[in-house]
Amino acid sequence: MRKRFDGGTQALDGVTLQVMAGEFFSLLGPSGCGKTTLLRILAGFENPDEGVVRINGQDMRSVPPYRRPLNLVFQNYALFPHMNVYDNIAFGLRMKRLPASEIGSRISWVLDLVDIAGLEKRRPDELSGGQKQRVALARALVNEPDVLLLDEPLGALDYKLRKQLQVELMNLQEELGLTFIYVTHDQEEALVMSDRLAVMRHGKIEQLDFPEAVYERPTTRFVAQFLGASNLIPAAALDESRTTTPLGDLAVKEALAPGRRYTLSIRPEKLRLHRTRPPRANVVPVRVDDIIYTGAENQYLLDAGPLELIAYTLNADIQEPGFEEFDYDENVFAELPPENLVAIDG
Amino acid sequence: MGSRGDWKKLLPTALPGAAWLVAFMLLPSLFVFYASFLQRGANGWISGPLTLSNYLRFLGLDGESFDPLYLKILWRSLLLGGVTTAVVVLLGYPFAFFIALSKRKNLLLLLVVLPFWTNFLIRVYAWIVIFQRRGVLNAFLASVGFNPLHLYPSWTAVYVATVYTYLPFLILPLYASVEKIDWTLLEAAYDLGAGRLRGFFHAILPQTIAGLVSGVMLVFIPAVGTFVISDLLGAGKTVLIGNVIQQQFGSSRDWAFGSAAAFVLMAVVLLGLWIYARWAGEKGLEDLL
């Protein structure tokens, strides 16, 4: 699928993806990556310059937004300010001209489902952010769509509420067996909630896979850096499993093409720090440059000569290898286990 | 505005405005109200005793038989106000959207405001130049082979000029509302199954009601009371309630009756606004008022 906007920005550049029925699928990427454009195309608010949207095998090209079997939860909720909660939720059902009795029973079902019973008479400006979010969700769910599109629905909420609603959304999706397509720029949210996710950049999909795969085996430098933190080490393959890098020769557990250039990626929590040099491969002497205390973990900024490395250790107060605490300017050994080094092309 | 402290804090900012309203609005109104119960005295001044005769005269109940002369004039004025308002809404509503969605909105707004740079009387006289027997309009019609129209003086000319005069008073407040429209509400309505028409009525129209209401009031109230336009373009043959009032304070020198006529007009307009306010209150639109 391709989409170009007036002014020449290529919003979507050759995106193809298939979402399974009942799947929680996330589109993840920084702002401007095209994820919202893709969602708006699915909803029917934009037309692709090239490409087809199919829902249940049905071509949606000539289907206007108001006849598509999906509903959208808007980023800023887009609740009708002149209607109370009940009328907001009833809107879609009234547009379908359902009898009042059925509207009533469906609404009481959905009010319980999203836990906002008792707020029916309130106007949107009398609701908290979390309540608005629930009303927006109810307004979409009450129509029993095949697909629910969610455009950064938790973006405006504070951290605690976001965490709570993440869990509720996942439970809801499982309970109803609905297909969710969820747009977010929050990588943690995407990892926590999705069955599968697509990482997007510049209108293209960088990687599409299960959360574990995307995190553990990023296929591009962008994905490695956008999802969590990564140590990126430029490398050239010496043979099928050995590379030469500015930190010395490093072994990997992957089949490399000899002579080819790679970027080795290792997550900070997989890098192990030792006071004494362990008798294993891939050990680099480093000096502790800075220590960042974040509560659950200690983050070490390490001077490895030509490169800086980051390592996270769990703040568990255990004096065992892997949990030790180190001091500023201490000379230590960083171990980069071969099985945790991911070789990215280029 | 609950406690005394709030009131004291408000006083310095509210006082000048309040004083202005008392001196130039409340006191003159009370004076006019009082005068409406007096009679014409010597030298065209007003004098006692108190009487209801001015109101009876206005209602046509002072003579031997019922004479609805002034009620008819009042009705004519309300009709002019109502029709003008309706036409202005039909023209101005789409135009406000046209401006708000245009890339040249500053230029268009300037064009809307531009007539105010010229004196109101001159603009009304300009319509005479257009409508008179050998005027601009007839010259144009003759050049394309049509017969001349006799539009000056006429009710048609009065209506055209009234619409022309008050159109900006609707467009400007409405434009302010249209500018602030949250268009994602329209998308939300589409998403929930509303077609174009229902999307407009449920998602767009409610967002413009505030501007529409202030515009309608700014048009209707002065249009009902206009007298300059009917004086000039009707050449004295189109009498409106505004003309009646103006004559009593001018050539007829019957301030008492003029005051009564002014108060009837005010009462009718206020009654209309009161009914409107109740309707709006029932619809839960009280924040518009």
Asked whether the beta carbons of residue A66 and residue B182 sit closer than 8 angstroms, the reply is no
Answer whether B113's CB lies under 8 Å from B168's CB. Answer: yes
Q: Which residues of B touch A47 (CB under 8 A)?
A: none
Q: What is the CATH number of the domain that holds B233?
A: 1.10.3720.10
Element (H, E) at A234: strand A231-237
- State the average pLDDT for chain A: 91
Residue type, B231: D
Q: How many CB atoms lie within 10 A of CB A73?
A: 26
Asked whether the beta carbons of residue B192 and residue A66 sit closer than 8 angstroms, the reply is yes
Q: Which residues of A touch B211 (CB under 8 A)?
A: none
B269 inside domain: yes
- Nearest by CB to residue B190, choosing from A66, A96, A143, is A66
Is the CB of B195 inside 8 Å of chain A's CB atoms? yes
Nearest Cα residue to A22 out of A67, A56, A66, A73:
A56
Closest residue in B to A75 (Cα) is B184
Q: What CA–CA distance (Å, rounded) separates B255 from B43?
A: 11
Is the CB of A126 inside 8 Å of chain B's CB atoms? no
Q: What CA–CA distance (Å, rounded) separates A3 from A6?
A: 10
Query: How confident is the model over B76-119, as pLDDT tens digits?
Result: 999 999 999 999 999 999 999 999 999 999 999 999 999 989 99
Residue A297: both structure tokens together: 């973990």
Is the CB of A92 inside 8 Å of chain B's CB atoms? yes
Length, in residues, of chain B: 289
Q: What CA–CA distance (Å, rounded) separates A294 from A291?
A: 10
B220 inside domain: yes
Write down the ipTM of this complex.
0.82
Q: Which residue range(s) make up the domain with B126?
A: 68-287
Answer whether A39's CB lies under 8 Å from A1's CB. Answer: no
Answer whether B189's CB lies under 8 Å from B152's CB. Answer: no
Answer whether A305's CB lies under 8 Å from A246's CB. Answer: yes
Sign of the Cα pseudo-torsion (A79, A81, A86, A91, in order): negative
pLDDT of B289? 43
The whole-angstrom distance between A73's CA and the closest CA on chain B is: 9
Q: Which residues of B touch A67 (CB under 8 A)?
A: 193
Answer whether B39's CB lies under 8 Å from B47's CB. Answer: yes
The whole-angstrom distance between A77's CA and the closest CA on chain B is: 9
Interface probe for A, chosen from B191, B213, B286, B288 (most Cβ of A below 10 Å), is B191
Q: Which residues of A touch B195 (CB under 8 A)?
A: 64, 66
Query: How confident is the model over A258-292, as pLDDT tens digits?
Result: 989 999 999 999 999 998 899 998 999 999 999 99
Residue A102: both structure tokens together: 């059925």
Sign of the Cα pseudo-torsion (A104, A105, A111, A112, in order): positive
B112 inside domain: yes
Nearest Cα residue to A80 out of A150, A31, A136, A37:
A136
Q: How many CB pairs under 8 A join A and B?
A: 61
Sign of the Cα pseudo-torsion (A280, A281, A285, A288, in order): negative
B44 inside domain: no
B158 inside domain: yes
B73 inside domain: yes
pTM here is 0.80
The whole-angstrom distance between A95's CA and the closest CA on chain B is: 6
Asked whether the beta carbons of residue B184 and residue A76 sit closer than 8 angstroms, the reply is yes
Q: What CA–CA distance (Å, rounded) separates A312 from A229?
A: 10
Least confident of A56-70, A267-281, A309-323, B225-239: A309-323
B12 inside domain: no
Cis ω on the peptide bond leading into residue A30 (within 30° of 0)?
no
- Nearest by CB to residue B203, choosing from A65, A80, A139, is A80
Number of domains in chain B: 1
B48 inside domain: no
Q: What CA–CA distance (Å, rounded) separates A249 from A238?
A: 9
Spell B216-238 as b/e; 16+ CB within 10 A means b.
bbbbbbbbbbbbebbbbbbeeeb
Query: How confident is the model over A173-205, as pLDDT tens digits?
Result: 999 999 999 999 999 999 999 999 999 999 999
